[in-house]
Structure 1
């Protein structure tokens, strides 16, 4: 069996998400070791200062924006394999969504996902951060349609054959 790494390449350098016919496949992870894996993804929503203040004061008509976005982020992490075709369904040990703002016009979102498994949780963390940001947009779009989401990025990951990554 070809030893496969998290970047979607085998030790021979071949992309592992394609079979010998060049067609997409889900990577076989049966030969990989179970390790504790953690990933942190971040994004931000840039908005008018009035919109951020309305979120802080609970004046958005649809409800508590951060509470709903937090639940959306957790659900997004749990459902990543339903959204991203080649992702493995994973049993997650924990998902945490944190918010802070710059005091003016940016809401920062950080998603941390943890599991014990044979494949990493980078996509789950990225999906969680994205789902939370999209929920903020959805709940605030009546007040402001030109909010900007992103950049969204992997901040760090630990565990697995390839070790740790820190931006």
Structure 2
């Protein structure tokens, strides 16, 4: 068990999140071992190392520049402030939400289906989709991730 802990201690919060979202009660040890093997076979390194390298890449200087450029181009296409779209009716909002939910569910990664099962994967995906519909939570997520990004940038320098 201590060998297992060393291999994936960084991933512990991720396992807990997956366990909560996909309701994998009683499958925690199996899920943990499956993720360890999946990452080692797929990426050829430990899950801790893969997570660290992925986080380093996501918050690298080139990616931060890319995110800022993407934000700038979506807010100011061709150097001009984008116009606000016309307001949607409640029916249009509902239709858009249903279409987005269907696309989200139809594009669930095969790895999720394989590791967690079709039904658990679908239930977890629906739960994630519904949680991400809350405007206050999305703002909080944006602020926390932005603050985290800034802190990581400052720590790297």
TM-score, scaled relative to structure 2: 0.28
Specify which structure has the bigger relative contact order, considering alpha-carbon pairs within 8 angstroms and separated by 6 or more residues.
Answer: 1
Largest Rg, 1 or 2: 2
Q: Which has the higher helix share?
A: 2
